[in-house]
C-alpha cells in the first residue's frame, strides 16, 4: 500500500481544481499540495482557543443590540 489516497487526490485535482488528467499527473506532489492549499494559512481554531477569545472579548449587550 502506498499511503496515498489516489482516488481522493484525483477527485480534488480533477473535480475540485478542474485539472485535466495530463495536468494532474504532470504535477509534483509539492505543486499539488500548493494548489490544494495545504500548509497555507493558519491551523483551524480549536475549542480551547475559541473559549479563550470569548472570555477576552465577551459580547456586550447594550441598548439596541440583540
Nearest to 16 by CA among 5, 30, 3, 32: 32
Distance CA(64)–CA(66), nearest Å, equals 7
Digit-coded pLDDT (tens) for 2-30? 577 888 889 989 998 999 999 999 999 88
What pLDDT sits at residue 61? 73
Claim: this prediction has a pTM higher than 0.75: no
* 14 neighbors 21 (Cβ within 8 angstroms): yes
Residues 6+ apart with CB under 8 A from 40: 34
- What is the rounded average pLDDT for all residues in the chain? 82
Could you tell me which residues come within 8 angstroms of residue 36 by beta carbon, excluding any fewer than 6 positions away?
Answer: 12, 13, 16, 17
Amino acid at each position: 500500500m502506498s499511503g496515498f489516497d489516489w482516488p481522493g487526490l484525483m477527485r480534488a485535482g480533477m473535480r475540485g481544481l478542474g485539472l485535466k488528467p495530463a495536468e494532474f499527473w504532470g504535477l509534483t506532489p509539492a505543486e499539488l499540495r500548493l494548489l490544494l492549499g495545504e500548509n497555507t494559512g493558519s491551523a483551524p481554531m480549536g475549542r480551547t482557543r475559541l473559549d479563550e477569545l470569548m472570555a477576552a472579548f465577551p459580547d456586550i449587550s447594550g441598548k439596541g443590540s440583540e
